[in-house]
Amino acid sequence: MIFVTGRGKGAIEDYFDVAFECETFQRLRGKDLTALEGTLLEPGKAIFIRQQEPLGLGHAIWCARDAVGDEPFAVLLPDELMKGAPGQGCMRQMVEAYGRVGGNLVCALEIPMEQTVSYGVIDPGKREGALMEVKGLVEKPAADAAPSNFIMPGRYILQPDIMEVLAMQGRGSGGEIQLTDAMAALIGKQSFHGVTFNGRRFDCGSKVGYIEANLALALQRDDLSQSIREFLFNELTEEQLVPTDRNDV
């Protein structure tokens, strides 16, 4: 796992480390620490790289070029949460598709047209099951300029050649070095497909998405579900339960 982080984000490294003093005391007191198991990576299996300037996603990935080396690699943007059935997560579905078509793959997700301005958008070609050819990619187009309402929700499998393109990539949307632009430059030279994900997606980069993700996951947990249901039931009046149009914040 290669984490591209930045100044002031040391808590991410600490999260995947052993909190020796705290854990030792907890163990001595007989506390159950099995909840920590998922946070421990094997020694030597985590690399932390700092992106020294906020120059965009493309630049962040390029910062990891030496750690990635000359191999295909996956990119997961952590502000997007993808929830599939157990053992059928988004990246698992993409790796299966990669086994069939190889090349470069992006996750593809349909959203309301008016939201394209917040995302990288796919110009789709032929579709077959969950796979679609990618004919073009545009970063954050307005709804009337977007080639479709299929966006890229932050999951990619890429060939290492993208690093050379990123090294030369000028600034794009928002004045940042965009992964979308670098990928677009590879279309036609390498195979490029979109994979629609069978599962739920939460954009935790928005306040509403973040809260929805917490609620949806809590409602699936045996230890939390009952209390959360009771809380919501008591909190919401009957009028509030009627869905209304809303704008994400």
Looking at this protein, which amino acid is placed at residue 113? M
Chosen residue from 120, 124, 172, 194 binding ligand G1P by CB under 6 A: 120
d(CA 49, CA 34): 28
Q: CB 188 → ligand G1P: shortest distance, Å?
A: 19
Interface of this chain with ligand G1P, residues 43 to 102, rule: CB under 6 A: 57, 77, 80
- The answer to whether residue 124 forms part of the interface with ligand G1P (CB under 6 A) is no
| Burial class, 233, CB count within 10 angstroms (exposed 0-12 / middle 13-18 / buried 19+) | exposed
- Measured from the CB atom, the residue of 17 and 173 that comes closer to ligand G1P is 173
119 binds ligand G1P per the rule CB under 6 A: yes
Site string for ligand G1P, 213-232 (x = CB under 6 A): --------------------
Q: Residue 123 has which token pair?
A: 């110009």
Ranges assigned E (strand) in the chain: 2-5, 47-50, 73-76, 80-83, 104-110, 120-128, 131-139, 150-151, 155-158, 192-196, 200-203
Q: How many residues bind ligand G1P (CB under 6 A)?
A: 14
Of 195, 211, 158, nearest in space to 180 by CA: 158
Both tokens assigned to 128: 């077959």
Applying CB under 6 A, the span of 93-101, 152-160, 185-193, 212-220 interacting with ligand G1P comes to 152-160
Hey, what amino acid is at 242?
Answer: V
One of 68, 132, 139, 169 touching ligand G1P (CB under 6 A): 139
- Determine if 117 is a binding residue for ligand G1P (CB under 6 A): no
Answer for the pair 118, 140: CB distance below 8 angstroms, yes or no.
yes
User: What one-character-per-residue DSSP string does 147-215 give?
Assistant: S-SEE--SEEEE-TTHHHHHHH----GGGS--HHHHHHHHBTTB-EEEEE-SSEEEETTSHHHHHHHHH
6/26 with CB nearer ligand G1P:
6
Task: Report in angstroms how near the CB of residue 127 gets to ligand G1P at its nearest.
Answer: 20
Binding of residue 153 to ligand G1P (CB under 6 A)? yes
Q: Which stretch binds ligand G1P (CB under 6 A): 20-28, 43-51, 176-184, 207-215?
A: 176-184
Interacting residues toward ligand G1P by CB under 6 A: 57, 77, 80, 119-120, 139, 151-154, 178-180, 205
